[in-house]
């Protein structure tokens, strides 16, 4: 499942975020492995992994790695105005899946 960056609309796969992305931040491999094995959650804003993520362009709203508010793809892109603009940036296949799911939920 993808989560879109609320600032630029870039889709990020949740599996990638939890298990792969932390290895892109340049921390020692054993430190990163401990972080991933512990559920990819920051102990707080001063967590070295959080600092490493911020240095790579990430910002988070909480201790969850899935709570990002900006991502490395935000560089060079303007901030999206709202959720409607973000939805319009989705690939058409994702739009039809969401529409089908939404229609199913309304029945
Ligand atoms: Zn972004």
Say how many Å lie between the CA of residue 11 and the centre of ligand 1. Answer: 8
Per-residue model confidence (pLDDT) at position 96: 55
Say how many Å lie between the CA of residue 106 and the centre of ligand 1. Answer: 31
Say how many Å lie between the CA of residue 76 and the centre of ligand 1. Answer: 10
Single out the residue of 76, 56, 59 nearest to residue 5, CA to CA.
59
For the record, the structure tokens of 53 come out as 């993520």
The string of DSSP codes covering 29-97 is HHHHHHHHHTTSB-SSTT-HHHHHHHHTT-EESSSBTT-EEE-GGGTTSPPP-SHHHHHHTS-HHHHHH
Helix (H, G, I), strand (E, B) or coil at 7: coil
Domain boundaries, the chain: 2-106
Say how many Å lie between the CA of residue 7 and the centre of ligand 1. Answer: 5
- Label residue 22 by pLDDT band (50, 70, 90): very high
Say how many Å lie between the CA of residue 75 and the centre of ligand 1. Answer: 7
Tell me what the pLDDT averaged over the chain comes to.
85
Per-residue model confidence (pLDDT) at position 32: 97
Question: For helices 29-37 and 48-55, what crossing angle results, to 10°?
Answer: 110
Per-residue model confidence (pLDDT) at position 18: 96
């Amino acid at each position: 499942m993808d989560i879109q960056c609320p600032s630029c609309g870039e889709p990020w796969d949740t599996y990638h975020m939890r298990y792969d992305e932390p290895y892109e931040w340049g921390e020692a491999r054993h430190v990163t492995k401990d972080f991933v094995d512990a559920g990819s959650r920051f102990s707080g804003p001063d967590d070295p992994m959080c600092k490493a993520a911020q240095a790579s362009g990430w910002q988070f709203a909480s201790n969850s790695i899935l709570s990002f508010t900006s991502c490395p793809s935000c560089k060079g892109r303007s901030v999206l105005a709202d959720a409607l603009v973000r939805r319009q940036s989705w690939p058409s296949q994702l739009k039809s899946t969401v529409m089908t799911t939404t229609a199913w939920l309304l029945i």
